[in-house]
Amino acid sequence: MTKYLKTAYQFGVLGGILSGLSFYVLSLFYPDPTNLNLVFGYVITPFSVYLAIKFYKEFANEGFLSFAEGMTIGAVTYLILAILSTLTIWGILVSSPSLFEAIQTAKWAVLEQNKEVIIGQVGQKSFDLTQTNLKGMGPWDIAFNDGIWKILPGMFFSILISVILKKNKT
């Protein structure tokens, strides 16, 4: 089992560390680093998944890769990445209440700025619910959202990369 997962662990941890580091560095320059960190996640997640699957194929499995192996390695990679990213961001936000407040204020400003458009698209009830949810938002909500947005592209890219790199033994 460790043969399958060694590269997944390595690149999942690397991706998680880079994602957490990205959030921290972006928080030094922007009052709301969440959106830019999501963009960074769309780069680092497929990159980590690709490297984990490619290294497994080339160095642990003699150049062969089944679709199932690729999917397993990809899933472990993006799940580890998402968990580490979520925990790191949560830790940063808990240890820096002022950063959390700045993010919440920025999100509130975006909501108010787009009030008419939002009400026109989804109605007053949905807008009011969004306001209520934003008031009750905590650091865990921001961190968990980041983790979810690492998992979704990770699933897609695991499928794609597994199909592209697939090479069965004949």
Q: How far apart are CA 45 and CA 147, in angstroms?
A: 11
Task: Show me where the domains of the chain are located.
Answer: 2-96+139-165
Indicate whether 167 pLDDT > 90.
no
Interval 78-117: pLDDT, tens: 999 999 999 999 999 999 999 999 999 999 999 999 889 8
Indicate whether 2 pLDDT > 80.
no
Q: How far apart are CA 24 and CA 21, in angstroms?
A: 5
Regarding pTM above 0.95, the answer is no
Q: How far apart are CA 2 and CA 8, in angstroms?
A: 10
Interval 120-143: pLDDT, tens: 999 899 889 989 999 999 999 999
